[in-house]
Structure 1
Amino acid sequence: MTNPLYWTILVGMAVLMLEQGLPVHSQGDSLADNKVMDNITVRQGETLILRCAQGDIVTHTAWLNRSSILYAGDEKWSVDPRVSLVTLNQEEFTIKIENVEMTDEGQYVCAVQTSSRPTTTVIHVLVQVPPKILDLSRDIVVNEGSNVTLTCQAIGKPEPFISWKRISSSGDLATDDDYLEIPFISRQRAGTYECTAVNDIDTDTQTVDITVNYAPTVSDGRDVGVTPGQRGVLECEADAVPEADFEWYKDDRRISNGLDGIEIVSTGSLSRLTFFNVSDGDYGNYTCVAINKLGSSYTSFLMYVVIEPTSSTLLQGPRAVQDGSGSAMGVHLHTCLFIVAFLPFLMKF
């Protein structure tokens, strides 16, 4: 089977020779002095320089890419505006290709016709491509307990290495794969996940947000003591995604906001029930209920009366306690002496 490169060179040389009226080699003829140079590696977007040494007495010269002639002498055959002539003299024939693309990779041939015989120089161009993430999962919202699969696929040359990690204080590594599997996801695994594609050229990084919905969990209620006529506040805090709606009840009756000097303010995870002037009817048991589309939770409070001490109770209270305790101690002492005195008499019986 005929080498395709041989035909490429042969066609290119034939074109040059026909233009100049020179005899064309037959298919059986060999093209002498073929030289294979080392590979040239260039990054995508850079400029590729292709040099060919002339030497001897050169009559015709050309640069070819696969089956296309780029330049024949100083005449440009390529329609690609990125290709241009740099140097053409007796010693050197150099062209350049700007903003190299992946399609520019392959074999390039410098064909030179001297006064004696043709020579060729073959260069293989390798194009390196930085990684680029093309297929990435979108931000998702799931319910707690669902199975989650994230996808991250990238192109590049060399082939990029893919890794996932969850962005957190610990930066814990998730997996080294195109796919990240999270079975029975919990609320603790919610957050931002980062996909990284890396090769020898560069790195590409993109993120995916996972929101995990779960039913409310309400913190234990804290009982509050309030003096009549003073301001009283009950606070209810709920952990939930999406954020919970709050309802307040006194016994079995739902409390309406703004009724009888009562205000309910709910912001985010916290709800406050405020009494601006507590009266006797306000004391009792209260219930806070937190609700979202996945469920509900509640907690109870007791608002009880607190009597502020007056100046008279402050003066009399300690003395009364002291007197009361002294009397009790005296009675206790007399009782003990009575038992000790009659104990020998009782033992005779």
Structure 2
Amino acid sequence: MHFEQSAILTVHNHVITRNPRISVTHDKHRTWFLHISNVQEEDKGRYMCQINTVTAKTQFGYLHVVVPPNIDDSLSSSDVIVREGADVTLTCHASGSPPPSVKWKRDDGSKIAINKSLSVLEWEGEVLELTRISRLDMGAYLCIASNGVPPTVSKRIKVSVDFPPMLWIPHQLVGAPLGYSVTLECFTEAHPTSLNYWTREDGNMIHDSAGKYSISNTAGSPAYKTHMRLSIMNIREADYGTYKCVAKNPRGETDGTIRLYTSAPPSTTPGPSTTDAAASRRHPGIATTTTTTTTSTTTHYYTAGAGQPNTTLSAQHLQQGRNRICSTVDALCEHNVNRPEKYAIIMSKITKAFSFLPNRTNKPILSCAFRFIEIAIYTHGF
């Protein structure tokens, strides 16, 4: 009999219960066997065998039934969409025998940010609470249930974090000569994915145009990042001015401004000089702008790398550098006739700056100084 259920199952050779999974056999009436086929969880418990002699004799046995884990979708979280900065609670309800343990992991293997001060590779428990969630927490989360009885089961829950677009512009001031080509860049972050486009200062949208404009949007990693590029070919006078990169999504919109100005054309050489190449390796972190023509000529405004040349500057080199800056100021004054009074002020500052440069200053350092002074004159002087 099933002791907990007080249910008589068999008497002698006869099966009393109506459960078709129960049967009984014996070995010449000396050993009796109770058979349960297709065991179910409700079959677990104590079973009693009784021999009805003058004094009844009983023997007990206990049946343990193990059940692999199962995740109840109706009691567990599904995919969620939340605003950045909100709190999120994910639930994963699992059953089985013995009771399963539940662990949480991120699908990509990165850490789970429980709050601003606690990040873990995995979290144990049926409930996962994330405080002030950010875009970095976006992705798929796995709840994994196991109890030692195969198979282990899991549920994948996707967490989407919505936020308004943000822009990062590496170069807000870009110079290029007439007739050359140039590429303007903006980097965006947005979720849902933003609508990205370019405009001029008058608000007119820029479209792809063969031989003039080329627009590309490249998805980054994570997927909420986008690299916007606007290439302007064969620059004309009308192309100089302000350009805007714009990003919009249901959570908001933003824009950034890039100013394209005219610069002196580069000198044509078969390749970068030893000094230019060394300078290109010398100054990590200096923002660069490269303008190219339809020929192989390239203007290098020096960028990241390592190494330091041994060349030094003579007084002649310093004078040539001063002349270069003066020419820039002269050209700017010609285009800004309404404010020529600034010429004297700027020139006095340049002269004072050059007086502090020793003759043994490295050429690449001075070349970078020339470039920064030119930009400063354009942005702040005029």
- TM-score normalised to the size of structure 2? 0.57
Deviation at 1:239, TM superposition (A): 1.2
User: 2:79 aligned to 130, 139, 160, which one?
Assistant: 139
1:186 — aligned with what?
134
Deviation at 1:285, TM superposition (A): 2.1
RMSD of equivalent CA atoms = 3.1
Deviation at 1:175, TM superposition (A): 4.2
Deviation at 1:118, TM superposition (A): 4.3
1:70 — aligned with what?
9
Amino acid at match of 1:307: P
- 1:307 equivalent in alignment to 2:265: yes
8 Å CA contact 1:248–1:287 kept in 2: the answer is yes
User: 1:264 aligned to 196, 206, 215, which one?
Assistant: 215
1:216 — aligned with what?
165
Pairing 1:331-346 to 2, within 5 Å after superposition: none
1:295 — aligned with what?
252
Q: Which 4+ runs in 1 deviate beyond 4 A? A: none
Deviation at 1:140, TM superposition (A): 0.4
2:372 — aligned with what?
none
Equivalent-residue separation in structure 2 for 1:207 and 1:196 (angstroms): 9
Pairing 1:220-259 to 2, within 5 Å after superposition: 220-222=169-171, 223-258=173-208
Pairing 1:54-69 to 2, within 5 Å after superposition: 66-69=5-8
Deviation at 1:147, TM superposition (A): 2.0
Equivalent-residue separation in structure 2 for 1:160 and 1:191 (angstroms): 25
SS of corresponding position for 2:206: coil
Equivalent-residue separation in structure 1 for 2:147 and 2:96 (angstroms): 8
Stretches of structure 2 that go unaligned for 5 or more consecutive residues are 113-119, 220-225, 270-315, 324-382
- 1:149 equivalent in alignment to 2:92: no
Equivalent-residue separation in structure 1 for 2:43 and 2:247 (angstroms): 63
User: 2:21 aligned to 82, 88, 92, which one?
Assistant: 82
Pairing 1:44-123 to 2, within 5 Å after superposition: 66-85=5-24, 87-113=26-52, 118-123=56-61
Amino acid at match of 1:300: T
- TM-score normalised to the size of structure 1? 0.62
8 Å CA contact 2:200–2:206 kept in 1: the answer is no
Deviation at 1:248, TM superposition (A): 1.5
Deviation at 1:137, TM superposition (A): 0.4
Equivalent-residue separation in structure 1 for 2:259 and 2:242 (angstroms): 5
1:169 — aligned with what?
110
SS of corresponding position for 1:127: coil
Equivalent-residue separation in structure 1 for 2:192 and 2:148 (angstroms): 43
After superposition, the Cα gap between the structure-2 partners of 1:184 and 1:170, relative to the gap in structure 1 and judged at 3 Å, is closer
Amino acid at match of 1:180: L
8 Å CA contact 2:111–2:122 kept in 1: the answer is no
Equivalent-residue separation in structure 2 for 1:149 and 1:170 (angstroms): 17
Higher Rg of the two aligned structures: 1
SS of corresponding position for 1:155: strand
2:274 — aligned with what?
none
Deviation at 1:165, TM superposition (A): 3.8
Structure 1, 105-114 or 243-252: larger mean CA deviation: 105-114
8 Å CA contact 1:221–1:301 kept in 2: the answer is no
Deviation at 1:139, TM superposition (A): 0.9
Pairing 1:19-30 to 2, within 5 Å after superposition: none
Equivalent-residue separation in structure 2 for 1:132 and 1:121 (angstroms): 35
8 Å CA contact 1:191–1:209 kept in 2: the answer is yes
Amino acid at match of 2:87: N
Deviation at 1:141, TM superposition (A): 0.8
Deviation at 1:287, TM superposition (A): 1.5
Aligned residues: 253
Q: Deviations over 1:294-332 (max 9, x none)?
A: 222322223333524368xxxxxxxxx88x86xx9xxxx
Amino acid at match of 1:270: H
Stretches of structure 1 that go unaligned for 5 or more consecutive residues are 1-62, 312-320, 329-349
Deviation at 1:185, TM superposition (A): 1.6
Amino acid at match of 2:267: P
Equivalent-residue separation in structure 2 for 1:273 and 1:138 (angstroms): 40
SS of corresponding position for 2:136: helix
After superposition, the Cα gap between the structure-2 partners of 1:199 and 1:258, relative to the gap in structure 1 and judged at 3 Å, is closer
**Structure with the higher fraction of residues in strand conformation:** 1
After superposition, the Cα gap between the structure-2 partners of 1:104 and 1:245, relative to the gap in structure 1 and judged at 3 Å, is same
Amino acid at match of 1:95: L
